[in-house]
Amino acid sequence: MGNNIILKVDSIKKYFPLKGGGFRKPHKWLKAVDNVSFEVKKDSVFAIVGESGCGKSTIARLVLKLLPLTEGKIYFKGEDVSYLAGDALKRFRRSVQIVFQDPFASLNPRMRIIDTLSEPFKIHKIVPKNEMKDRVVNLLEKVGLNADAVNRYPHEFSGGQRQRICIARALTVSPELIVADEPLSALDVSIQAQILNLLQDIKRESAISLIFISHDLKVVHYLSDEVAVMYLGKIVEKARTEDLFESPKHPYTELLLSSAPKIRVQSDESGVMDKGSKLKTLSSKLITDIPSPIDIPTGCPFHPRCPRRFDICDKVVPELKDIDGRRVSCHLY
Ligand SMILES: Nc1ncnc2c1ncn2[C@@H]1O[C@H](COP(=O)(O)OP(=O)(O)OP(=O)(O)O)[C@@H](O)[C@H]1O
Ligand code: SF4
Ligand SMILES: [Mg+2]
C-alpha cells in the first residue's frame, strides 16, 4: 500500500439477515454492501454517489467501525483496522471523524456549544482546562462563527450554522480523515453552497482527507478528486472526477449526470434540467423507480432500468474492469 493512501477498503461486504430465515430454511440476506473496494489518497476528496438505499451510509459506518464487517478488510495508513478494539480503536476514533446529514439530530439540544465542542478535548485529554475556551473560539472562527456562539444552545442556530458547529466538532481532534455522510441534504440549497465552500477551505488549509457521500452529482463535481458511483451495494464506476464528468461510461452514471442540473455553486439552483438532454425524460422517470437490495435483479443489477441493455445483460453479472485508467462494470466495455 503506497504511502499516499490514507484508507484502503478491500472487498468489504455487509449483509443484514432478513426475517423469515430459520431452521432448515436458507437465510435470506440483504446485501447492503457487496464486495466494495476503493482507496482514499491523502489530502484528497473521495466521493461516493448513488440513490437512496445503495449502501452509502453502511460504508460510512463500516469505515468508522460503528458496524462490524461481514467480510473484507479495511486499512488505515497501512494498518489493518478491520477488527480493532480497546485503545487501538480509541486512537483510530480520534483520527477518523464523521459529519452527519442532520445537524440538529447530531447535536445535544441541552448542551451549550462550548460544552459540545470541548467534550472531545476532555475525552482525549488533549487540551489543558485553561486553554479550552480559546481553542473552542478558535474552532468556531475556523468554521465562520462568532465567539459569542460559545454560550448558546443548538436551537438558537439555523441549519447551516448547526452544520458548521458539527464540522467544528469533527475538527476538534485534528482528524486525518473526515467522513461526511450527506452533510448538505438537510440544508437549503443556498446554504449548501456555503457549507461546500467551508469544506473546500478546510481541505485547503489542513491536510485532511474526506470521504464525501452524496446522492447529488453536481455537489460532487465541485469538491471531489475521485468518484465512486454505487448501485445496489456495488461500485459500478470509479474514476477521477474530471474523467467521470467529461465522459461517463456506465449507463447509470450517464443517467445520473443527465438528470443532474449543471453546477452553479455560488448561485441558487433552480433544479432545471438541461433541455437538450436526450436522456432527460427517460432518466427522470427511471430515477424515481428505485430498486430494492432485497431482490437484486439477475445478471447486471441495473438491467431493468438500463436504456442500453442487450441480450446478455439479464443473464451475466458484469465484472468491474479496468478501462482507460478507471473501473467500470458493464458488458458494453
Ligand atoms: N441495520 C440494518 N439492518 C437491516 N438493513 C439495513 C440496516 N442498515 C441499512 N440497511 C439496509 O441496507 C441498505 C443500504 O442502506 P444505507 O443506509 O447504507 O443506504 P444509503 O445509500 O445511505 O441510502 P440513503 O441515501 O437513503 O441514506 C438499505 O436497503 C437499508 O434498508
Ligand atoms: S451491463 Fe447491460 S444492462 Fe448493465 S449497464 Fe451495461 S448495458 Fe446496461
Ligand atoms: Mg445514507
The string of pLDDT tens digits covering residues 48-89 is 999 999 999 999 999 999 999 999 999 999 999 999 989 999
Among 244, 274, 270, CA closest to 259: 274
Q: Which residues of 193-206 are buried (b: 16+ CB within 10 A; e: fewer)?
A: bbbbebbeebbeee
In a domain, 314, yes or no: no
> Greatest CA span in the chain, whole angstroms?
70
Q: Are 270 and 31 in contact (CB under 8 A)?
A: no
Q: Which of 18, 58, 184 is the best mutation target for the ligand 1 pocket, counting ligand atoms within 8 Å of the beta carbon and taking the most?
A: 58
Ligand 3 centroid, distance to 181 Cα (angstroms):
7
User: Which residue's alpha carbon is nearest to atom 7 within ligand 2?
Assistant: 309
For residue 60, what is its C-alpha cell? 460510512
Q: Distance (Å, rounded) from C-alpha 104 to C-alpha 217?
A: 24
Determine the pLDDT at residue 233: 96
Residue 15 lies in a domain: yes
- Identify the DSSP state of 25: B
The set of protein residues with a Cβ atom below 6 angstroms from ligand 1 is 16, 30, 32, 50, 52-58, 215, 293
Q: What is the pLDDT of residue 22?
A: 61
- Tell me the best of 16, 49, 59 to mutate to test the pocket of ligand 1, counting ligand atoms within 8 Å of each CB and taking the most: 16
Q: Hey, how many other C-beta atoms are within 10 angstroms of the C-beta on 123? A: 13
d(CA 37, ligand 1 centre) in Å: 18
Tell me the CB-side half-sphere exposure of residue 60, using CA atoms within 13 A: 25
Give, using CA atoms, the residue closest to atom 27 of ligand 1. Answer: 52
User: Among 313, 320, 327, which is best to mutate for testing ligand 2, by the most ligand atoms less than 8 A from CB?
Assistant: 313
**Do the domain assignments include residue 295?**
no
Taking the CA atoms of residue 130, residue 134, residue 136 and residue 142 in that order, the dihedral angle to the nearest 10 degrees is -160
Any domain includes 70? yes
Distance from residue 312's CA to the centre of ligand 3 (Å): 32
pLDDT tens-digit readout, 142-184: 999 999 999 999 999 999 999 999 999 999 999 999 999 999 9
In a domain, 185, yes or no: yes
Grid cell locating 112 = 451549550
Locate the ligand 2 atom nearest the alpha carbon of residue 306 and give its number: 8
**Of 228, 236, 254, 249, nearest in space to 319 by CA:** 236
The answer to whether the CB of 330 is under 6 A from ligand 2 is yes
Q: Mind listing the pLDDT tens digit for each residue in 124-139?
A: 888 888 888 999 999 9
* 303, part of any domain: no
Q: Whose CA is nearest to atom 3 of ligand 1?
A: 16
Q: How many distinct structural domains can be found in the chain?
A: 1
Q: Which atom of ligand 1 is nearest to the CA of 294?
A: 29
User: Would you say the CB of residue 315 lies under 6 angstroms from ligand 2?
Assistant: no
CATH code for position 227: 3.40.50.300
Query: Which of the four pLDDT bands, split at 50, 70 and 90, describes residue 219?
Result: confident
- Is 214 part of a structural domain of the chain? yes
Of 26, 12, 28, residue with least CA distance to 233:
12
Look at residue 140 in the predicted model and tell me its pLDDT: 95
* % the chain with pLDDT above 70: 88
64/62 Cα distance (integer angstroms): 5
* Displacement of CA 171 from its chain's centroid (Å): 17
Which domain does 237 fall in, by range? 5-110+153-250
106 within a domain of the structure (yes/no): yes
Contact criterion met (CB below 8 Å) for 231 and 33: no
User: What is the model's pLDDT at position 126?
Assistant: 83
Cell of 49: 454517489
- List, in sequence order, every residue forming a beta bridge with 214; answer none if it has no partner: 49
Distance 297 CA to ligand 3 centre (A): 22
The yes-or-no verdict on residue 300 having pLDDT over 70 is: yes
Q: What is the mean pLDDT of residues 100-125?
A: 90
CA dist., res. 83 & res. 60, Å (int): 16
Banded pLDDT at 26 (limits 50, 70, 90): low
* pLDDT attached to residue 261: 53
What number of other Cβ atoms are within 10 A of residue 164's Cβ?
A: 24
Residue 119 amino acid letter: E
Residue with cell 468491474: 320
The single residue listed with the C-alpha cell 447535536 is 107
